[in-house]
Amino acid sequence: MTNTDIQLITRLFAAAMLGGVIGLEREYRSKVAGFRTHFLVALGSALFMIMSVYGFENEDVAFDGARIAAQIVSGIGFIGAGAIMFQKHAVKGLTTAAGLWVTAAIGVCAGTGNYILAIAATIMVLLCLETMNFVLNKLGKKIISLSISAESKDEIKTILTKLKSSGFEVGSYNMEMKRKNSGDTYVITMEVQVSRKHYDQKVSELISNFEEVSIDSI
């Protein structure tokens, strides 16, 4: 094994470790793409860059290594798209998809031997994710999906008024009337917003104070 081989293996190792660090944060947050995904994305990006620079040295052809980097940028979009989901009128996974995109760029940096830039980018990604998570927990809001059944529209209005007075912000909602032999039943599905800081307290209030409300999902 030559010194060049050791250097290239070091680049691969550095890329994989930096990607893995970001993946650990995503794994801790229970995101769809965790340690293994980020580890492999960074490793693969570094390997492609190494091959683009050193893999064709003995070939008697003109070769532009930047083409490989361009293909990595576009190719990582397929993985990122798989992390994005559309659920109940909300798009989820955009942050994870962007993280994969940046992880690929970090792998490219490590693959070209630019360790300082790769490490700096990794630190900035972690600061962004953790800082924003802290801020959102203090100032952000969460969405709770509710399903309410009532015998009359007046009863639904009473429930909505009670929710608003309890600190819930009512967002989108849909009402459907179901006809039964025993009488008509109104079913309303809605999304309410509540402060992340008081999330646990508000969920407890829903369960204990709103007997007519069934929590569909949280």
Reported as a pLDDT band with limits 50, 70 and 90, residue 116 is: very high
86 alpha-carbon distance from chain centroid: 12
Quote the CA–CA distance of 140 and 195 in Å, as a whole number. 6
**Does 14 have pLDDT greater than 90?**
yes
pTM exceeds 0.85: no
Q: Give the range among 13-17, 40-44, 86-90, 101-105 with minimum mean pLDDT.
A: 86-90
**β-pair type (213-217, 169-180):** unpaired
By C-alpha distance, which of 120, 131, 130, 94 is closest to 18?
120
- Mean pLDDT (whole number) for 139-167: 71
Residue 182 has pLDDT above 80, yes or no: no
Between 8 and 209, residue with greater pLDDT: 8
DSSP letters along 103-118, please?
HHHHHHHHHTT-HHHH
